Amino acid sequence: MFSYLKRLLIGRPLKSTELGEQKISKTKALAILSSDALSSVAYGPEQILIVLISVGVAAFWYSIPIAVGVLILLVALILSYRQVIFAYPHGGGAYVVSKENLGMYPGLIAGGSLLVDYILTVAVSVSAGTDAITSAFPALHAHTVGIAVLFVILITILNLRGVTESASILAYPVYLFVLALFILIGAGIYQIAAGSVPPDLHAPIGTPIAGISLFLLLRAFASGSSALTGVEAISNAIPNFKDPAPNNAAKTLLAMGALLALLFSGIVYLAYYYGVAPKEEVTVLSQIAERTFGRNFMYFFIQGTTALILILAANTGYSAFPLLAVNLAKDKFIPRMFTIRGDRLGYSNGIIFLGVLSILLIIGFKGQTEHLIPLYAVGVFIPFTLAQTGMILKWVRQKPRGWQPKLMINTVGALISLVVSLMFFLTKFAQVWSVLVFLPLIILLFHRIKKHYDAVGDQLRITECAETLPIEGNVFILPVAGVTRVVENSLKYVKSLSPDQIIAVYVPFEREEEAIFEEKWGKWQPDVRLVTLHSPYRSIINPLSKFIDTVQRRAGESNYHVTVVIPQFIPKKAWHNILHNQSSLLIRAYLLRRRDVVVTTVPYHLTK
Amino acid sequence: MFSYLKRLLIGRPLKSTELGEQKISKTKALAILSSDALSSVAYGPEQILIVLISVGVAAFWYSIPIAVGVLILLVALILSYRQVIFAYPHGGGAYVVSKENLGMYPGLIAGGSLLVDYILTVAVSVSAGTDAITSAFPALHAHTVGIAVLFVILITILNLRGVTESASILAYPVYLFVLALFILIGAGIYQIAAGSVPPDLHAPIGTPIAGISLFLLLRAFASGSSALTGVEAISNAIPNFKDPAPNNAAKTLLAMGALLALLFSGIVYLAYYYGVAPKEEVTVLSQIAERTFGRNFMYFFIQGTTALILILAANTGYSAFPLLAVNLAKDKFIPRMFTIRGDRLGYSNGIIFLGVLSILLIIGFKGQTEHLIPLYAVGVFIPFTLAQTGMILKWVRQKPRGWQPKLMINTVGALISLVVSLMFFLTKFAQVWSVLVFLPLIILLFHRIKKHYDAVGDQLRITECAETLPIEGNVFILPVAGVTRVVENSLKYVKSLSPDQIIAVYVPFEREEEAIFEEKWGKWQPDVRLVTLHSPYRSIINPLSKFIDTVQRRAGESNYHVTVVIPQFIPKKAWHNILHNQSSLLIRAYLLRRRDVVVTTVPYHLTK
């Protein structure tokens, strides 16, 4: 049943050799790798307005200078990451760059924030995509959480199937989204130029506003910089590009930066000119589209492609998270299971973990994106800062030809990223404080896990010097519940091993049973020694394990080994198991964990 | 942690010998065994009025003749059960009486309905008790379900501790309730007699009512007879009485019948005279108490004792259900686990099962008692009918001295019970149809379970004729994951058993690993044969079990036995287990279930 359902959902298993690395062209790469960054324009501008509205609608003109600041930040980041691409042509995620240049702990800080961040990518993108849908169809607004969860489940299943195969299909929505937004921005600017938009919808730039403060403006800037999340994606994926990979990746990065800059500026400008105010139930982008086109085909085209690209952006999390997890698991910082490839060759454990956690986040935050965005942005800018700082150290240490301008670019990138990170903590502490709690906890956990794996490795390694005494003989203990074929079967097996001693053990709960059973046993197996252990508290495990201790102490003196043989009958159908007390399972688990005895299970298969 | 919490909640374990059967006196027995029956007067009269109000308030006078009918039914039942007491002095539940006299299926019908019924007893009594509390404190009305669930959990814990020890404490609330109701009825009748109650609150008896029908009256009668649930309790518990047990039990039964009759008549009469109408949020009993005393101390005393006795009535379910389950489990109709005594000598599995199911019922029905009462009553009257019919057959077959009057009494009892049962199906089919679905399903399940146990018993029994070939030799298969101390440890153990053949099996996922490992192994253990099974689909179980099949086929020819030895390292702390892929657990479970091989686990305990 379960395996049939699994086949149906994720397809037949693939051979390891079917893992072919497909090289992708620049146009395809631009589409696949920039969905996260480009989709950010769907919520980035809105974040600026949400801060400004606390002063008043007239303050909206500040969104223009703030947007200029964000664009400067974008240029710095693009140039910095261009250098990461050439320096780490095999893919330089913030984790690798920080670990190599700054050491283990900075690497873990970068890795830890990115892990959390990819979960937030999925939660934020899918929630924002759902918002785009519910803005278009307000009747669905009550079901936001359900729809978002459904999307996450869908994306998880697609990724378990192995979404890379169908990557080319994923390219269309991205280009459609870019096309849709260009049409929107073009039409909007045309309408403004043609004078068909009343010019009094907004306060002119420079209008003095009472109550505006530097703090508020920094806050709005920090919020707006959330539109830059996702620009690091290309630098992680260089090996997937066609040769010469670094050059192609760098060109793609520049193209993405240009597109992002144009779309971001256009949306901010239209929002300002139309005087759009952020609303609970309708996104800013939806309002702009409605003002420009009315609720016609173009409106639904824009909302549709927005929803699609946002949900695709979640997919970025699904490609990045499992790969980062593999790197961390190979370095022994997280459980080894994240390195296992599933039936379809994807890292299924990472994919499932990501899906489950983002669903929990969506449910926990009731699908309200705005509460997650600051956390998300901080989680991006901390690794940004660390990676750029790592690059600074790299240039200073290695001093390759022409390193001075490179150093300068990364220094500017590092400083700006650091300033943005600090701004988040200064201006939005109430929303991002949890980073300061969880990040140290995560790093502590990483550290503990690493310590454990190292200790296990030490203990399992075979060293020349360690000599152990040979086993001189074997004692077999056979707990029996009655005179049955199951016991007969186990006895026959134990006897065939011709051990030095066999002891059958019976644990009666009542004194009367004791004599009766001893007599019965004596008639049936006169040559096998029987020990009865009366258990007044009706526990089988306690007297049995005490008895094992005694036998072991005696056996240890002469270096004999103790084996407990458990006779177990296996019912024909699995549901029959609930009809039988599974004491053998409990005994086995307890003995293996608590005592140094070998546990042998002799099955007796029932046929009806 | 868990075991500490267990100690705290249910106390230290008791020895089997501490199980002393406490004989109880008539006064104590009356209190303990009649809480279910007496508490029914808290909701029985209300059920009559709920039916009559559909015609109009004026129809309430019909409650008087209906109550007379219920009293006649009560007399018949008391007399019938008096005979059961003398005929089955060791406790004659409906299950035993029906099974012995009518055969297996009628016995199972009685047993099945009683099992379900005890669950309903708990759900209905606790819900009604909660109603009494929320009637007194309307602010709590929104939390009905939560309060009821809390009470069930509390009673479950008390019963797991072993409530019988403190049985004498349980006697007080019952007598307090009887006292409270006598005061209420006395004060009410005094007020009526003194003329301080306006006589125009009710329509006089005999007022013609438009729209009344025989169907409706029968329906009201059936509803009212729910006040008689619980009268069978004494006949199940005869062995607990002081000698002469049957005589004492019979006297207690009569006393209970008399009390029940008085309380029931009093409540019905006052409700009629005051013209009380059933309300959603306030019980009829609460309304009567409020009219008689106002909201003073007496009112809260009555509500408090009512709540207490109702919750104690749930306790009746907790004493009856596990005992019936033990009887059914001994006859192999339900899983054997119900016969196991827990740490405190109670049948913990039955107690927990009852608690969980009644919580599910309460949550499922949102704590609304009235929807459960018809189901509950039907579940009582079906076994009533079967038990009385069984008694009829017993008299006819055995013909003891003076059997004719006994036969007549049980015949009347059986007929009336049958009529009431049928009435429920005729007049409240919408509420009780589920009995017709679930009862056959339950009996089918009982039957399947019995069949399984019988089949297992047959297969386990040792018969003289069955001769099996002796095992001639042993082959050991040792799956290895690397050259480690865990493997070394297991190899040492296997070698000490000096088997005929040892085969180490390695399952590489990549072709390259194969040669590397073979070389490494050859250097380390040149005398142990290594087989590598390349697994292109990255599964360990599939190639391993195919290999075992091959070995087994060859070994089977010469009657060799195959043992799979699993090297397993046991981490120091339990949480470490999530850091290691538990393939050994999966392999063991799979092999034991699917293949006829012995599985031996050799633990290697890590020390840090």
3-class SS letters over B517-570? HHHHHHHHCCCCEEEECCCCCCCCHHHHHHHHHHHHHHHHHCCEEEEEEEEEEE
Q: Which of B451, B488, B601 to mutate to test the interface with A (most CBs of A within 10 A)?
A: B601
pLDDT at B126: 92
pLDDT at B580: 80
Note whether A37 and A226 are within 8 A (CB): no
Q: Provide the sign of the torsion angle of the four alpha carbons B279, B281, B283, B287, taken in this order.
A: negative
Share of chain A above pLDDT 90, in %: 37
Note whether A570 and A605 are within 8 A (CB): yes
pLDDT band, very low/low/confident/very high, at A42 (cuts 50, 70, 90): confident
pLDDT band, very low/low/confident/very high, at B444 (cuts 50, 70, 90): very high
Write the pLDDT tens digit of every residue in A383-415: 989 999 999 999 999 998 888 999 999 999 899
Inform me whether the pLDDT recorded for A165 exceeds 60.
no
pLDDT at A259: 94
Q: Provide the sign of the torsion angle of the four alpha carbons B414, B419, B420, B425, taken in this order.
A: positive
Inform me whether the pLDDT recorded for A234 exceeds 90.
no
pLDDT at A434: 87
Query: At what angle are helices A297-330 and A144-161 packed, to 10 degrees?
Result: 60
Write the pLDDT tens digit of every residue in B226-247: 888 888 888 877 877 888 888 9
Average pLDDT, chain A: 87
- B493 CA to chain A: closest CA distance, Å? 7
- B541 CA to chain A: closest CA distance, Å? 14
Strand order of the β-sheet with B501-506 is: A529-532, A501-506, A473-480, A560-570, A598-605, B598-605, B560-570, B473-480, B501-506, B529-532
In 3D, which of B229, B244, B278, B254 has the Cα closest to residue B63?
A: B278
From chain B, the residues in CB contact with A537 under 8 A are 13-16, 343
* Interface confidence (ipTM) of the complex: 0.80
Residues near A419 by Cβ (< 8 Å), separated by ≥ 6?
Answer: none
Write the pLDDT tens digit of every residue in B45-93: 998 999 899 888 888 999 999 999 999 999 988 998 898 888 888 876 7
pLDDT at B186: 94
Closest-CA residue of B relative to A476 is B497
Q: Which of B3, B333, B446, B456 to mutate to test the interface with A (most CBs of A within 10 A)?
A: B456
Inform me whether the pLDDT recorded for A178 exceeds 90.
yes
From chain A, the residues in CB contact with B599 under 8 A are 600-601, 603
pLDDT band, very low/low/confident/very high, at A12 (cuts 50, 70, 90): confident
Q: Is A16 in contact with B452 (Cβ distance < 8 A)?
A: no
Note whether B120 and B450 are within 8 A (CB): no
Q: Is B471 in contact with A492 (Cβ distance < 8 A)?
A: yes
Q: Is B336 in contact with A563 (Cβ distance < 8 A)?
A: no
Closest-CA residue of A relative to B580 is A336
Residue owning tokens 């600017």: A189
pLDDT band, very low/low/confident/very high, at B407 (cuts 50, 70, 90): very high
Q: Is B452 in contact with A561 (Cβ distance < 8 A)?
A: no
Note whether A298 and A183 are within 8 A (CB): yes
Q: d(Cα B257, Cα B170) in Å, to the nearest integer? A: 20
- B244 CA to chain A: closest CA distance, Å? 29
pLDDT band, very low/low/confident/very high, at B528 (cuts 50, 70, 90): very high
Q: Provide the sign of the torsion angle of the four alpha carbons A460, A463, A465, A469, taken in this order.
A: positive
pLDDT at B454: 92
**Helix-strand-coil split of chain A, %, nearest 5:** 70, 5, 25
Q: d(Cα A202, Cα A291) in Å, to the nearest integer? A: 14
Residues near A258 by Cβ (< 8 Å), separated by ≥ 6?
Answer: none
Dihedral pair phi/psi, residue B463, rounded to 5°: -110, 150
β-partners of residue B601 are A599, B566
In 3D, which of B204, B224, B264 has the Cα closest to residue B60?
A: B204
Write the pLDDT tens digit of every residue in B533-590: 998 888 889 999 999 999 998 887 778 889 999 998 888 887 887 778 778 888 888 8
Q: Is B605 in contact with A599 (Cβ distance < 8 A)?
A: no
Determine the 3-state secondary structure of B64 from DSSP: helix
DSSP secondary structure string for all residues of A527-594:
TSEEEE---TT--SHHHHHHHHHHHHHHHHHTTEEEEEEEEEEE-SSGGGGGGS--HHHHHHHHHHHH
Q: Are strands B560-570 and B598-605 parallel, antiparallel or unpaired?
A: parallel
Q: d(Cα B497, Cα B507) in Å, to the nearest integer? A: 25
From chain B, the residues in CB contact with A606 under 8 A are 455-456, 459
Tell me whether the omega of the peptide bond preceding residue A603 falls within 30 degrees of 0, making it cis: no
Between B56-65, B112-121, B164-173, the lowest mean confidence (pLDDT) is in: B164-173
Calculated CA dihedral for residues A147, A148, A149, A150, nearest 10 degrees: 50
pLDDT at B92: 63
From chain B, the residues in CB contact with A480 under 8 A are none
Note whether B28 and B172 are within 8 A (CB): no
pLDDT band, very low/low/confident/very high, at B22 (cuts 50, 70, 90): low
Inform me whether the pLDDT recorded for A164 exceeds 60.
no
Dihedral pair phi/psi, residue B363, rounded to 5°: -70, -45
**Helix-strand-coil split of chain B, %, nearest 5:** 70, 5, 25
Q: Which long-range contacts (CB under 8 A, 24 or more apart) does A204-213 make?
A: A204/A61, A205/A61, A205/A64, A206/A61, A207/A58, A207/A61, A209/A55, A209/A56, A209/A58, A209/A59, A209/A62, A211/A55, A211/A56, A212/A55, A212/A59, A212/A62
From chain B, the residues in CB contact with A337 under 8 A are 581
pLDDT at B207: 83
In 3D, which of B10, B498, B48, B11 has the Cα closest to residue B271?
A: B48
- A14 CA to chain B: closest CA distance, Å? 6
* Token pair belonging to A440: 């140290």
Inform me whether the pLDDT recorded for A7 exceeds 80.
no
Write the pLDDT tens digit of every residue in A286-331: 999 999 998 889 899 998 999 989 888 888 888 888 888 988 998 9
- A432 CA to chain B: closest CA distance, Å? 30
- A461 CA to chain B: closest CA distance, Å? 5
Instruction: Give the residue with greater pLDDT, A103 vs A23.
Output: A103
Q: Is A496 in contact with B598 (Cβ distance < 8 A)?
A: no
The DSSP code for A503 is: E
Q: Three-state SS across A156-171?
A: HHHHHHCHHHHHHHHH
Note whether A449 and B575 are within 8 A (CB): no
Q: Is B452 in contact with A537 (Cβ distance < 8 A)?
A: no
* Token pair belonging to B285: 């009993």
From chain A, the residues in CB contact with B461 under 8 A are 484-485
Write the pLDDT tens digit of every residue in A502-541: 999 999 988 888 999 999 999 999 999 999 999 888 888 9
Mean pLDDT for B344-350 is 83
pLDDT band, very low/low/confident/very high, at A262 (cuts 50, 70, 90): very high
Average pLDDT, chain B: 87
The count of residues in chain A is 608
Write the pLDDT tens digit of every residue in A187-228: 999 999 988 888 777 888 888 888 888 888 988 998 888 888
Q: d(Cα B394, Cα A363) in Å, to the nearest integer? A: 63
Q: Which of A462, A523, A560, A584 to mutate to test the interface with B (most CBs of B within 10 A)?
A: A462
pLDDT band, very low/low/confident/very high, at A556 (cuts 50, 70, 90): confident
Nearest Cβ partner for B493 among A569, A598, A602? A598
Determine the 3-state secondary structure of B451 from DSSP: helix
Cβ neighbour number for residue A377 with a 10 Å cutoff: 31
Dihedral pair phi/psi, residue A248, rounded to 5°: -65, -40
pTM of the predicted structure, to 2 decimals:
0.79
From chain B, the residues in CB contact with A452 under 8 A are 571, 576, 579
* Token pair belonging to A426: 């200064």
Encoded amino acid at A231, one letter: V
Mean pLDDT for A178-183 is 94
pLDDT at A167: 62
Residues near A12 by Cβ (< 8 Å), separated by ≥ 6?
Answer: A343
Residues near B479 by Cβ (< 8 Å), separated by ≥ 6?
Answer: B504, B505, B506, B507, B540, B544, B564, B566, B567, B587
Note whether A514 and A534 are within 8 A (CB): yes
Note whether A96 and A251 are within 8 A (CB): no
Mean pLDDT for B446-469 is 83
Residue owning tokens 């664009």: A71
* Token pair belonging to B352: 């927990």
pLDDT band, very low/low/confident/very high, at B272 (cuts 50, 70, 90): very high
DSSP secondary structure string for all residues of A360-372:
HHHHHTTT-GGGT
Mean pLDDT for B11-26 is 72
Q: Which of A490, A494, A496 to mutate to test the interface with B (most CBs of B within 10 A)?
A: A496
In 3D, which of B517, B481, B476, B511 has the Cα closest to residue B494?
A: B476
Inform me whether the pLDDT recorded for B503 exceeds 90.
yes
β-partners of residue A605 are A570
Instruction: Give the residue with greater pLDDT, A100 vs A210.
Output: A100
From chain A, the residues in CB contact with B486 under 8 A are 460
Determine the 3-state secondary structure of A221 from DSSP: helix
Nearest Cβ partner for A493 among B537, B561, B603? B561
From chain B, the residues in CB contact with A336 under 8 A are 579-581
Q: Is A459 in contact with B607 (Cβ distance < 8 A)?
A: yes
- B438 CA to chain A: closest CA distance, Å? 20
Residues near B103 by Cβ (< 8 Å), separated by ≥ 6?
Answer: none
Q: Which of A3, A590, A601 to mutate to test the interface with B (most CBs of B within 10 A)?
A: A601
pLDDT at B195: 85
Share of chain A above pLDDT 70, in %: 97
Q: d(Cα B156, Cα B149) in Å, to the nearest integer? A: 10
A with B: how many residue pairs have Cβ under 8 Å apart? 170
Q: d(Cα A271, Cα A266) in Å, to the nearest integer? A: 9
Q: Is A600 in contact with B15 (Cβ distance < 8 A)?
A: no
Inform me whether the pLDDT recorded for A68 exceeds 60.
yes
Residues near A121 by Cβ (< 8 Å), separated by ≥ 6?
Answer: A36, A229, A230, A313, A314, A316, A317, A320, A376
Q: Is B459 in contact with A608 (Cβ distance < 8 A)?
A: yes
Q: Which of B328, B449, B460 to mutate to test the interface with A (most CBs of A within 10 A)?
A: B460
Dihedral pair phi/psi, residue B598, rounded to 5°: -80, 135
* Token pair belonging to B240: 């607990």
Nearest Cβ partner for A497 among B474, B485, B510? B474
pLDDT at A464: 67
pLDDT at A24: 75
Cβ neighbour number for residue A440 with a 10 Å cutoff: 12
Share of chain B above pLDDT 70, in %: 97
Q: Give chain A's count of helices (H) and strands (E).
A: 22, 5
Between A337-351, B115-129, B536-550, the lowest mean confidence (pLDDT) is in: A337-351
